[in-house]
Amino acid sequence: MKITVLGSGYVGLVAAAGFADAGHQVQCIDVDAARVAQLQKGEVPFFEPGLAEVLERVIRGGRLTFGTEIDREHRSSEVYFIAVGTPPLPDGSADISAVHVAARTLRDVVETPAVVGIKSTVPVGTCDGVQAIVDEGARHKLRVASVPEFLKEGTALADFMKPDRIILGVADAETERVLRDLYRPLQLSSERVLVMDRRSSELSKYASNSMLAVRISFMNELSRLCDAIGADIHAIRRAVGSDRRIGNQFLYSGPGYGGSCFPKDVSALAFRARAAGVPLEVVEAAGRANEAQKTYVRDRALSMLGEDVKGKVVAIWGVAFKAETDDVRETPALPLAKALVEAGAEVRIHDPEASANFIRWYNLPVKPFESEYDAATGADLVVVMTEWRHLRNPNFARLHSLMRTPNLFDARNIWTTFELNKAGFSYQGVGTNHGHT
């Protein structure tokens, strides 16, 4: 099938590469000429495990091309996907102006009847608005569908090729048929398609992300309670997760969620619900709890340095919002790094993928290190903020010998089994009752 994807960001590029790898003929469009030139050379503009290899394969096979405009061949694509950004506005709502620009572009250039699938995360009712745009003066019938993407950064390709579900929000049987044909290569082992109306499909993406955000925020709040009363969040997680009605996914406490999806999607859903006169109090509370967790982790880490932070050396291990990505948007490492800098500490960072992005995005005077041990040399505190695999089992004897003051703050609770307080460290986790009451 011939496909065009508008937008080469995280969702758009993974979808374009994934569809091409499944045998479809794909063109991926972006208005950023420099980004397109980079992609044409097979260079991925962000870190996602395995994506560079897939991109090289489908470009070499001639199944994926890039451009700043839809070429003549792809003006007769059977499906067009809109996968442009929908960043948050100051009031918390989603900015869908780029979606409307893409819709007007399609209306003006498409030369045959086609399906327009919206993969961008958009508020309920956006498909109706896009349908009105493409219907206005269109030369051919464009049928708009909601096709939300459920990709996790770090495992996006696997999520795309073997999805838990494929949601199709459609208004007619022909659109459903075309999209079922398109996704057939991704369902060889089992049927995963869920068909519904467009508004339900749009809401499903927000509902899924917000549900996960609620689980994370609830466990983070419990971790604070555990610290206050001397309980262990690991024991709580095992007890709660053993209940088959609840399950054990997304029950880990930590420094708070970040990234490009949860913060903006929680905010956008809360805004849309209030605009509809049905405020979602639980969703709003999850957002507030997440910000409180970031502040709590920041303050706990600072407290390990004593009253005078000026001149202290702090190494932050991991600045990406999660492992296996270079995404630093809304990263929990930011409040800590900012507070340390403002207090006069020397801040060093180590992250295998995200250090450059962190410095570029936030313009803080922090020093990046390729080696976690070099970052920790002479440090008064090491804080692990991202659970990269190589940080889960460091050489603690070496680390102890390198540090000026052996303080460790484990915001991800990945070192709780090492009995580090007995090994000469002052060690604290979050909600684990290790050295903190």
**Bridge partners (DSSP) listed for residue 66:** 28
Q: Residue 166's closest CA among 177, 180, 153, 156?
A: 180
Cα(346)–Cα(284) distance, integer angstroms: 36
**Token code pair at residue 13:** 């590029």
Q: C-alpha distances in angstroms, 271 versus 202, 213, 286? A: 15, 16, 14
User: Is the CB of residue 201 less than 8 Å from the CB of residue 159?
Assistant: no
User: Is the CB of residue 8 less than 8 Å from the CB of residue 37?
Assistant: no
Q: Residue 209's closest CA among 275, 286, 272, 135?
A: 286
Please indicate whether residue 226 is annotated as part of the active site.
Answer: no
Furthest-apart CA atoms within the chain: distance in Å: 74
Q: C-alpha distances in angstroms, 223 versus 228, 236, 259, 304, 358? A: 9, 9, 21, 18, 27
Q: Which of 28, 127, 226, 261 is catalytic?
A: 261
User: Is the CB of residue 391 less than 8 Å from the CB of residue 369?
Assistant: no
* 146 Cβ contact partners less than 8 Å away, ≥ 6 residues apart: 117, 118, 122, 126, 127, 167, 168, 169, 170, 198, 199, 201, 202
* 295 Cβ contact partners less than 8 Å away, ≥ 6 residues apart: 335
Pairing of strands 407-410, 346-350: unpaired
User: Is the CB of residue 83 less than 8 Å from the CB of residue 146?
Assistant: no
Cα(128)–Cα(167) distance, integer angstroms: 17
DSSP string computed for 246-272: T-STT----S---SSSHHHHHHHHHHH
Q: Give long-range contacts, CB 8 A cutoff, 24+ apart: 224-227.
A: 224/293, 224/296, 224/431, 225/431, 226/431, 226/432, 226/433, 227/430, 227/431, 227/433, 227/436, 227/437
Q: Which residues are catalytic?
A: 261
